[in-house]
Amino acid sequence: MYVLKHIEMIGRKAYKSEDAVTDESAIKFVKSVMDKKHYALLEHYSVSVMITCDRGVSHEIVRHRIASIVQESTRYCNYAKGKFGSQIEVVDPMKAMELEIGKKYQEIEITPSIFGQWYDLWIEAMDRAEHYYMELTKLGCPAQLARNVLPNSLKTELWLTMNLRNWRHFFQLRAAGTTGKPHPQMQELAVKMLKAFKDFIPIVFDDIIVGG
């Protein structure tokens, strides 16, 4: 409710109607703002979210503007150190891979058996990436160079801060897929975030429907 009151407080400056503020007036005011598509008011409130995903998904996230982003650095984080358990951590793509079962690519129908082969090869690739990373560091290779063998599946953490208008754009693209089908792992993450935003901030995101 605080977010809605904040938007109302700023918005009413335009009309000098501050005297109309009541304990419940913010709901009606913000609903009117959304109905009229006066989204500029949403730029006056920003939300920061800490996201855990893989590097591939993070490359999509950091393309969003206007946003402030701080991301775990593979240049300064040495995963061979005990602080990181002397191992790399990866994000499992199994759910995203399973979604491809039954589809056809390059004249190949994706069966559960083929999916299993995909997943086994992915595990093998992760094991090899970790092995070569650790071997490089043992030979004195600095983390900022050893990272060249790290996979897109590498787990990363980042803080993403955007105003509410840009969060709407983010969810329209990444959760609802208004301009095309989002990457499955990106959409899985965005849908969970959208639900949390709808719970935390009523009205502002209610019109964004997954799959709509």
- Extents of the domains making up the chain: 1-44, 46-74+154-212, 94-151
Residue 100's pLDDT is what?
95
Domain formed by 46-74+154-212, architecture: 2-Layer Sandwich (3.30)
By mean pLDDT, which of 15-19, 34-38, 75-79, 80-84 is the weakest? 15-19
Please state the separation of Cα 68 from the chain's center in Å.
13
Mean pLDDT of the region 122-128: 98
In the predicted structure, residue 212 carries a pLDDT above the cut 60: no
In the predicted structure, residue 73 carries a pLDDT above the cut 80: yes
Q: Which two tokens mark 131?
A: 């092995």
Residue 27's pLDDT is what?
93
**Structural contact between residues 186 and 175, judged by C-beta atoms closer than 8 angstroms:** no
On average, the pLDDT of the chain sits at: 94
Mean pLDDT of the region 4-31: 89
Mean pLDDT of the region 84-111: 95
Percent of all residues in the chain with a pLDDT value above 70, rounded to a whole number: 99
By mean pLDDT, which of 19-23, 98-102, 192-196 is the weakest? 19-23
Residue 57's pLDDT is what?
96
In the predicted structure, residue 124 carries a pLDDT above the cut 60: yes
Residue 20's pLDDT is what?
80
Q: What single letter denotes the amino acid at residue 18?
A: E
Residue 183's pLDDT is what?
94
Of 79, 69, 53, the C-alpha closest to 133 is 79
Residue 211's pLDDT is what?
65
| pLDDT, tens only, 169-188 | 999 999 998 888 899 999 99
Q: What is the CA radius of gyration of the chain?
A: 22
In the predicted structure, residue 52 carries a pLDDT above the cut 80: yes
Q: Which two tokens mark 175?
A: 């959760």
- Per DSSP, what are the bridge partners of residue 108? 105
Residue 55's pLDDT is what?
96
Residue 180's pLDDT is what?
83
SS (H, E, C) the chain: CHHHHHHHHHHHHHCCCHHHCCCCHHHHHHHHHHHCCCHHHHHHCEEEEEEEEEHHHHHHHCCCCCCEEEECCCCCCCCCCHHHCCCCCECCCHHHHHCCCCCEECCEECCHHHHHHHHHHHHHHHHHHHHHHHHHHHCCCCHHHHHHHCCCCEEEEEEEEEEHHHHHHHHHHHCCCCCCCCCHHHHHHHHHHHHHHHHHCCCCCCCCCCCC
**Structural contact between residues 5 and 14, judged by C-beta atoms closer than 8 angstroms:** no
In the predicted structure, residue 96 carries a pLDDT above the cut 90: yes
Going by pLDDT thresholds of 50, 70 and 90, the confidence category of residue 30 is very high
